[in-house]
């Protein structure tokens, strides 16, 4: 029933998007903070214990509720539970308002407004960016956000749901991304910073968790875009990006819509202990670094529309595959 759970969650999220300040996300921040405060003793083994507790325990709780509902009330209520979990962990509307507002500002010729919105979104200094660089950075941040909020969640949810673990995969993936980002932020503040061992464990674990989903996202972009160019740039230019998983996605995106990505990175415009630095920068798991550009055309506003089409075609591809698997399972 994974197909129906994902479909209903996506429709619900489009009709009534989850508010940025909500009890669930506040609770997860408190949970990650409590785990680091009580289990982070500064040694590598403690880092891995804290990471496992912060990510695996919520996933086990999700699958426990799923099994309980299935056994006591029935599978329709288990599907509703999966929809509820996916509504919290999956969705475009958790980041797309910035993308839409920046695109609208560029369409109206208001580049100052576009720079302001980009700065708010990523907490960076965008005051001197030319138009093409605004577009390039928006493309890069957007496709990574789409991967982490949609395709990565879909991948882990689909695999573990097929094994009878309900929405555990969605929770595990989102918590893996969340704690890696949150604990790195905590290391920059003055109160109860996360240790280097905890940050290292979370970063390494996140690289492993995201390895397969990143390549599935890149493959989907290739299938629904320019396949040969996407695969070529994936093979030959992904290593130009410092983050291996992000590099695969960005290189495939570059080839899929023929746009030049990579280059000079934006620098933080805010103090490391700013209260806004974590809440607003919910896309990149680590600060982007300067990279060598991929081949392709200079980024233009039209490429933003191409990105929207690329992402939605990839969603349709995922849904078609899941529908076929669901049908085969029902008929089998």
Torsion sign (Cα): 9, 10, 13, 16: negative
Q: Tell me the pLDDT tens digit for each residue of 212-243.
A: 999 999 999 999 999 999 999 999 999 989 88
What is the rounded end-to-end Cα distance, in angstroms, of the chain? 14
Q: Tell me the pLDDT tens digit for each residue of 297-324.
A: 999 999 999 999 999 999 999 999 999 9
Confidence grade of residue 122 (pLDDT, cut at 50, 70, 90): confident
Average pLDDT along the chain: 88
Tell the burial category of 243 from Cβ atoms under 10 Å away from its Cβ (0-12, 13-18, 19+): buried
Mapping DSSP onto H, E and C, the string for the chain reads CHHHHHHHHHHHHHHCCCCCCCHHHHHHHHHHHHHHHHHCCCCHHHHHHHHHHHHHHHHHHHHHHHHHHHHHCCHHHHHHHHHHHHHHHCCCCCCHHHHHHHHHHHHCCCHHHHHHHHHHHHCECCCCCCHHHHHHHHHHHHHHHHHHHHHHHHHHHHHHHHCCCCCHHHHHHHHHHHHHHHHHHHCCCCCCCCCHHHHHHHHHHHHHHCHHHHHHHHHHHHHHCCHHHHHHHHHHHHHHCCCHHHHHHHHHHHHHHCECCCCCCCCECCCCCCCHHHHHCCCCCCCCCCCCCCCCECCCHHHHHHHHHHHHHHHHHHHHHHHHHHHHHHHC
Q: Taking 90 as the threshold, does the pLDDT of residue 186 lie above it?
A: no
Q: What is residue 242's predicted lDDT score, i.e. its pLDDT?
A: 86
Token pair 């280097």 is found at 196
In this structure, what DSSP letter does residue 192 have? S
Q: Tell me the pLDDT tens digit for each residue of 21-79.
A: 788 888 999 999 999 989 988 898 999 999 999 999 999 999 999 999 999 999 899 99
Q: Pick the residue with more confidence: 181 or 284?
A: 181
Q: Taking 60 as the threshold, does the pLDDT of residue 105 lie above it?
A: yes
Q: What is residue 293's predicted lDDT score, i.e. its pLDDT?
A: 87
Q: What is residue 272's predicted lDDT score, i.e. its pLDDT?
A: 44
Q: Tell me the CA distances in angstroms from 283 to 112, 161, 162, 232, 271, one per residue in order.
A: 22, 26, 28, 26, 18
How far is 290 from 305, CA to CA, in rounded Å? 25
Q: Tell me the pLDDT tens digit for each residue of 252-296.
A: 999 999 999 988 887 765 444 444 444 444 444 455 677 788 999
In this structure, the number of other CB atoms found within 10 A of the CB of residue 64 comes to: 12
Confidence grade of residue 124 (pLDDT, cut at 50, 70, 90): confident
Confidence grade of residue 193 (pLDDT, cut at 50, 70, 90): confident
Residues 6+ apart with CB under 8 A from 129: 115, 118, 137, 266
Segment 91-109 mean pLDDT: 89
Q: Taking 80 as the threshold, does the pLDDT of residue 139 lie above it?
A: yes
Helix axes 211-224, 244-257, angle to 10 degrees: 0
How far is 326 from 320, CA to CA, in rounded Å? 10
In this structure, the number of other CB atoms found within 10 A of the CB of residue 302 comes to: 12
């Amino acid at each position: 029933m994974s197909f129906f759970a994902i479909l209903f969650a996506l429709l619900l999220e489009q009709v009534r998007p989850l508010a940025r300040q909500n009890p669930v996300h506040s609770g997860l921040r408190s949970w990650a903070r409590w785990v680091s405060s009580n289990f982070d003793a500064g040694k590598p083994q403690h880092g891995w214990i804290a990471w496992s507790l912060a990510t695996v325990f919520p996933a086990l709780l999700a699958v426990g509720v799923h099994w309980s509902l299935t056994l006591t009330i029935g599978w329709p209520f288990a599907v509703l539970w999966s929809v509820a979990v996916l509504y919290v962990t999956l969705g475009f509307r958790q980041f797309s308002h910035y993308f839409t507002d920046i695109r609208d500002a560029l369409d109206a010729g208001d580049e100052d407004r576009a720079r302001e919105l980009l700065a708010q979104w990523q907490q960076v200094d965008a005051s001197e960016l030319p138009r093409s660089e605004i577009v390039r950075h928006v493309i890069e941040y957007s496709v990574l956000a789409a991967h982490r909020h949609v395709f990565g969640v879909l991948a882990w949810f689909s695999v573990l749901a097929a094994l009878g673990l309900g929405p555990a995969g969605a929770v595990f993936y989102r918590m893996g991304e969340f704690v890696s980002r949150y604990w790195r932020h905590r290391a920059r503040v003055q109160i109860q910073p996360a240790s280097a061992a905890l940050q290292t464990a979370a970063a390494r674990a996140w690289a492993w968790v995201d390895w397969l989903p990143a390549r599935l996202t890149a493959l989907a972009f290739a299938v629904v875009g320019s396949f040969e160019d996407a695969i070529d740039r994936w093979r030959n230019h992904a290593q130009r990006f410092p983050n291996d998983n992000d590099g695969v996605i960005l290189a495939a995106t570059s080839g899929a819509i023929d746009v030049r990505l990579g280059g000079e990175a934006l620098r933080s415009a805010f103090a490391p202990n700013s209260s806004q630095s974590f809440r607003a920068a919910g896309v990149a798991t680590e600060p982007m670094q300067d990279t060598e550009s991929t081949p392709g055309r200079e980024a233009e506003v039209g490429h933003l529309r191409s990105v929207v089409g690329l992402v939605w075609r990839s969603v349709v591809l995922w849904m078609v595959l899941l529908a076929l698997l669901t049908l085969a399972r029902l008929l089998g």
